[in-house]
A and B are shown apart, each in its own frame.
Chain A
Amino acid sequence: MSAPAIPSDPPADYLTDHTVKSWLLTGDHKRIGVLFLISVTIFFFVGGAAATLLRLELMTPKGDVLASADAFNRLFTMHGVVMIFFFLIPSIPAVLGNFLLPIMIGARDMAFPRLNLLSWYIYLIGGLLGIWILIFGGVDTGWTFYTPFSSMYSNTMVVTAAVSVFIVGFSSILTGLNIIVTTHTLRAPGMTWFRLPLFVWSHYATALIMVLGTPVLAISVVLVGLERIFRVGVFDPALGGDPILFQHLFWFYSHPAVYIMVLPAFAVVSEIIPCFARRPIFGYRFIAFSSIAIAIFSFLVWGHHMFVSGQSMYVGAIFSVLSFLVAIPSGIKVFNWTATLYKGSIRFDTPMLYALGFIGLFTIGGLTGLMLASLAIDVHVHDTYFIVAHFHYIMVGGSVMAFLGALHFWWPKITGRMYPEFWGKLSALLVFAGFNVTFLPQFLLGWLGMPRRYFEYRPEFQVLNVMSTAGASILAMGFLLPLVYFLLSLRQPRNAGSNPWGATGLEWQIESPPTSHNFHGPVLVTCEPYMYSPEEAEREYAHEQLVHHS
């Protein structure tokens, strides 16, 4: 088919065509990334609303805000399900992975553009089913759907929830397939594996987990659904079933799933830190290989969620040791990022604030994770707020902050506009402060023995709970501000320039926003990634400020 003449001035970018059809039938990976951005943002605030209600209830020891304990159960379940399956898992890979990966490797699109669009529609269907559940009564099993409560005793929409999770899992699998095949087959000439940005390495590792783990989740929720519908006793002890089998199948996916949520965050941090320290990343190969190592080892530790479930103590001990080992690659990354900062020329722009916050908060989350890997400690703090605090440090202090940092870093590339720096910095600080005030007390609460998923608690826990809720209100502001200023920034003209940060990487060599096919001609890669120099930094920065800021 002969190509239409490309208008010379101004060049059309991927956002130019405004028709609904062009958006809903797009094959363009950049548009699909934007579609995912809109959807995951909506779900983030839905999950956030649930969290707000939870924290309001937990301000007082008695149950007085919500109608019943039952309502509380449904709220924390929906908070978990929405945040994990509809926000965290797709967030960075489906938004930024889709948008950036092809550009970073010098390709014109992902390997399978139509499957990419399909992954968004599948996500929407699963997500809409989730909304349906929210409106029509919710689920009260916890996001972990433990049997036999979920399979036999719960009176809520468990089967619908199982279907919803099953569907959204396919979206994840398709995203993973696309990332893997794209990385293998569409790298531009000269883009060898070790010239790839670490963003690509981490997303590749994430995709491996998505592909190998998600199907097992699918089977585990289908079995729960089957048992509910047919009353067949796969997990019913009276009929010979074993509830622990569900936990094995569930956590075989759900532990690696937490690495699906954090590896893309590592990807983002590995891009931001070198740029704002103006130094090449320290230990490129270590970070690349540790990403793959994490993907592989993450499959060997799932039993640390089951120390008190009744699994054999021998296997528990083995899982404990393996869980200690899986922390090593993550530790390597933290050391490498920190070493990258050494003797750098550091700028504290908003993305960097988020990245630095990530390093600190992820380290705390990771270290508490090591505490939990120790079987003896976990026996005492399992199902307490210690666990809740641990995973929120990783998922919010880690992944969400990385997501926000990524949005700020690549916003000019995605939209062609800059966000207001003052408000960006303010939000980052609000998020950091609010987050810590919310979740640090929860470590103490867990240590003192407050159980999780409880609607009431002993009065002596109230002070820390009030502190936590207060922090949550600050955190909420930190999250709402970017929603406002990002949207407002869209009213500006597209004048951010192709490289406002003076960053390396192929995405910064093309227009902001990029054209539909990303590149105007064949791409040839000849240099290593992260060729920053601190001495050049001041000169480059001044130049960029002059040229691109009006």
Chain B
Amino acid sequence: MSSSSITLEEAAVPARTETLLSHHFDDVEQQSNASILGMWFFLATEVMFFSGLITAYTIYRALSPEAFRLGSLHMHVWLGFFNTLVLLTSSLTMALAVRSSQLGRRDRTVWYMVATAVLGAGFLGVKAIEYSMEIEHNLFPGVNFQVPAEDAAALAEISATPEELQQNLGHFQIMFVLYFFITGVHAFHMIIGIVIVLIMAALMKRNWFSGNGTTQIEAMGLYWHFVDIVWVFLYPLLYLIDLSGGH
């Protein structure tokens, strides 16, 4: 492959499909393998990043299961359901985007990637609505946090001593600390994902990728699916602890 600079006319023509090879790789396959492997190990670091928070969640939920149950009843189950649907759909569109790029269908790839980003943005919009409602109800941890009266009463009933009640009330707040923090970190990852997906879609549209951009989009797809998997665990852990209504 010996093309040097691209002139403007060449850019308008359907792009080359030979991928640019960095000097330190022997062939395109090696280069692609390295990128995908790198993304997988990066996802391993992300798993560990979330695992610290999941550990904190597990400990505190085990210490005060009732406080966590009561706390989760303040979550908006159906908004969360909708969001999970949206995110799963965005994973589908992302997978289809990867597939389209493998088949060299650039326009379709762009379309699917934009759809993915839009769905992701929808997720974030709903999340913002949820946050604002929770903040309004004094459920954001910190100086404005208030344990709702009926929950405080319920916790008082199951606490044997005043110290235990204090612990339970504290754990009620910790549930919200973890809720806001974990979903916040998740949302942060989504924002980064949406931005990069949009940038890649734009680059794809301009035929910027030397090949079909398959490796890059596949790597991005892996990241996106990972963020989806995290939510698959977060939804039941935070929203669906126990909706059966009675104990």
B34, B48, B168, B174, most chain A CB atoms within 10 A: B48
Q: Are B44 and A211 in contact (CB under 8 A)?
A: yes
* A129 close to chain B: CB less than 8 A: no
Chain A, 233-248, contact with B by CB distance < 8 Å: what is the 0/1 string? 1101011111001001
**Which single member of B25, B51, B174 contacts A232 (CB below 8 Å)?**
B174
Separation of A76 and B60 alpha carbons in the complex (Å): 33
Q: Are A240 and B38 in contact (CB under 8 A)?
A: no
What's the Cα separation between A334 and B55 when bound, in Å? 37
Bound: A219/B47 CA distance, A: 12
- The verdict on B56 contacting chain A, using a C-beta distance below 8 Å, is yes
Contacts A111-B38, A230-B141, A232-B177 given; does A238 touch B23 at CB 8 Å: no
Is A181 part of the binding interface, using a Cβ–Cβ cutoff of 8 Å?
yes
A240 touches B169 (CB 8 A): yes
A220 at the B interface (CB under 8 A):
yes
Residues of A within 8 A of B64 (CB): 240
**Could you say which residues of chain B place their CB within 8 Å of the CB of A107?**
24
A205 interfacial by beta-carbon distance below 8 Å: no
Q: Which residues of A contact B177 (CB under 8 A)?
A: 226, 230, 232-234
| CB neighbours of B161 from chain A (8 A) | none
Instruction: For B181, list chain A residues within 8 Å (CB).
Output: 223, 226
- Does A2 reach chain B (CB closer than 8 Å)? yes
Other-chain contact of A2, B4, B41, B48, B143 (Cβ < 8 Å)? B4
Contact of A215 among B49, B55, B143, B168 (CB under 8 A): B49
CB interface residues, B 36-64, toward A, < 8 Å: 37-38, 41-42, 44-46, 48-49, 51-53, 55-56, 59-60, 63-64
Contact residues of A between 202 and 261, Cβ < 8 Å to B: 211-216, 218-220, 223, 226, 230-234, 236, 238-242, 245, 248-249, 252
B42 touches A177 (CB 8 A): yes
Whether A233 and B34, one on each chain, are in contact in the complex, defined by CB atoms closer than 8 angstroms, is no
Q: Which of B46, B52, B141, B171 has the most CB of A within 10 A?
A: B52
Majority secondary structure, A binding face: helix
Most chain A beta-carbon contacts within 10 A, residue among B24, B33, B56, B173: B24
A549 to B2, CA, bound (A): 45
Give the docked Cα–Cα distance between A189 and B8 (Å): 40
**Is A211 touching B34 in the complex (CB atoms < 8 A)?**
no
The answer to whether B41 touches A218 (Cβ under 8 A) is: no
A252 to B177, CA, bound (A): 22
Q: In the complex, what residue of chain A is closest to B20 when comparing beta carbons?
A: A1
**Contacts A234-B174, A240-B168: A249 and B56 contacting too (C-beta < 8 A)?**
yes
* CB-based nearest A residue for B30: A185
In the complex, chain B residues 130-187 whose Cβ is within 8 Å of any chain A Cβ: 141-143, 145, 166-171, 173-174, 177, 181
Answer whether A186 and B2 are a contact pair too, CB < 8 Å, given A211-B41, A215-B49: no
When the two chains form their complex, are residues B166 and A238 in contact, meaning their CB atoms are under 8 A apart? yes
Say which size band chain B's interface belongs to: 35 or more
Which B57-81 residues sit within 8 Å CB-CB of chain A? 59-60, 63-64
Q: Is the CB of B34 within 8 A of A219?
A: no
Contact present for B45 and A214 (CB under 8 Å): yes
Interface residue A113 (Cβ < 8 Å from any Cβ of B): yes
The answer to whether B52 touches A231 (Cβ under 8 A) is: no
| A417 on interface, CB distance cutoff 8 Å | no
Selected contact of A223 from candidates B25, B51, B56, CB within 8 Å: B56
The answer to whether B142 and A239 have CB atoms under 8 Å apart is no
Chain B residues whose CB sits within 8 angstroms of the CB of A184 once the complex forms: 34, 37
**B-side binding surface: helix, strand, loop or mixed?**
helix
Docked-complex contact A517 and B49, CB < 8 angstroms: no
Residues of A within 8 A of B52 (CB): 215-216, 218-220, 223, 249, 252
Contact A239 B174 (CB under 8 A): yes
Contact: A211 with B45, CB < 8 Å? yes
CA distance A184 to B48 in the complex (A): 22
A74 to chain B: which residues have CB within 8 Å?
none
Cβ–Cβ < 8 Å partners of B174 in chain A: 232-234, 239-241
Say whether A180 faces chain B, with CB atoms less than 8 Å apart.
Answer: yes
Q: Is the CB of A113 within 8 A of B24?
A: yes
Q: How far is the CA of A107 from the CA of B34 in the complex (A)?
A: 13
Residues on the B chain within 8 Å of A218, using CB: 49, 52
* Bound CA span A226–B167, Å: 20
Q: What A residues does B42 contact at CB under 8 A?
A: 177
Task: Determine the residue in chain B with the shortest Cβ distance to A522.
Answer: B26
CB distance from B56 to the nearest CB of A (A): 6
| B23 A234 Cβ-Cβ under 8 A | no
Q: Does A31 contact B (CB under 8 A)?
A: no
Docked complex Cα distance between A22 and B136 (Å): 54
Q: CA–CA, A232 to B145, complex, Å?
A: 9
Q: Does A112 contact B (CB under 8 A)?
A: yes
Contact in complex: B51, A216 (CB < 8 Å):
yes
With a cutoff of 8 Å between Cβ atoms, the chain A residues found around residue B53 in the complex are: 219
Considering the complex, which residues of chain B in the window 6-45 have a beta carbon less than 8 Å from any beta carbon of chain A?
Answer: 22-25, 30, 33-34, 37-38, 41-42, 44-45
A10: shortest Cβ distance to chain B, in Å? 22
List chain B residues, Cβ under 8 A from A181: 34, 37-38, 41
CB nearest neighbor in A for B174 = A240
Q: Kindly state whether residue A108 has any CB partner on chain B within 8 Å.
A: yes
Of the candidates A111, A216, A220, A240, which one forms a contact with B167 in the assembled complex, judged by CB atoms under 8 Å apart?
A: A240
Closest to A184 in B: B37
* Measured CA separation A186–B167 after assembly (Å): 54
- Could you give 19 example pairs across A and B, Cβ below 8 Å? A2-B4, A102-B24, A112-B38, A180-B41, A182-B34, A184-B34, A213-B48, A215-B48, A215-B49, A216-B49, A216-B51, A218-B49, A218-B52, A226-B181, A232-B142, A232-B174, A233-B174, A234-B177, A240-B63
Chain A interface (Cβ < 8 Å from any Cβ of B): 1-2, 102, 107-113, 115, 173, 176-177, 180-182, 184-186, 211-216, 218-220, 223, 226, 230-234, 236, 238-242, 245, 248-249, 252, 517
Further contacts, 10 of them, CB under 8 A, given A234-B56, A240-B166: A113-B22, A211-B45, A214-B45, A219-B52, A220-B52, A223-B52, A223-B181, A226-B177, A245-B56, A249-B56
Listed from nearest, the 9 A-B pairs whose CB atoms lie closest are: A240-B170, A219-B52, A109-B24, A215-B49, A239-B170, A215-B48, A108-B24, A232-B141, A185-B34
